[in-house]
Amino acid sequence: MFVINVVIIWLTFAYLCRAQLLNSLNNYGDNTYPDRCVLDMGNTLLMLKLGEMVKLDNLPCTSVFCAGDGWGMLQTCSHDAPPDDCRYSNFDWDAEYPKCCNRRVICD
């Protein structure tokens, strides 16, 4: 069962690592809370278990996926410049990652 869970998590991870998205692996470990990804959100301490994801409400389209043993994947959209004389529409703050990365190109 453990192997199946690990395979599912890594397949999810691979899906989320598409070209239009930015991902960075970070250590969110804390010796006080072993096997958890610990995020200090100022007034709140979030502790994620293996395979859990949390959306960061203070950043557009940004989330943290706990890959296990304190390691987590910070996921956000790429910030490529739009074509000349164009701009991107706003992020959909309510959409789940990675759908929130889909922004329209608006050309004036």
Cβ-contact 64, 53 below 8 angstroms: yes
Mean pLDDT of 31-41: 92
* Cα–Cα distance for residue pair 88/74, rounded to 1 Å: 22
Task: Name the nearest CA neighbour of 72 among 56, 91, 94.
Answer: 56
The answer, yes or no, to whether residue 44 has pLDDT greater than 50, is yes
Please state which of the ranges 11-20, 63-72, 93-102 shows the lowest mean pLDDT.
11-20
Q: What is the pLDDT of residue 16?
A: 45
Confidence of residue 21 (pLDDT cuts 50, 70, 90): low
Backbone angles phi, psi at 13, to 5 degrees: -60, -45
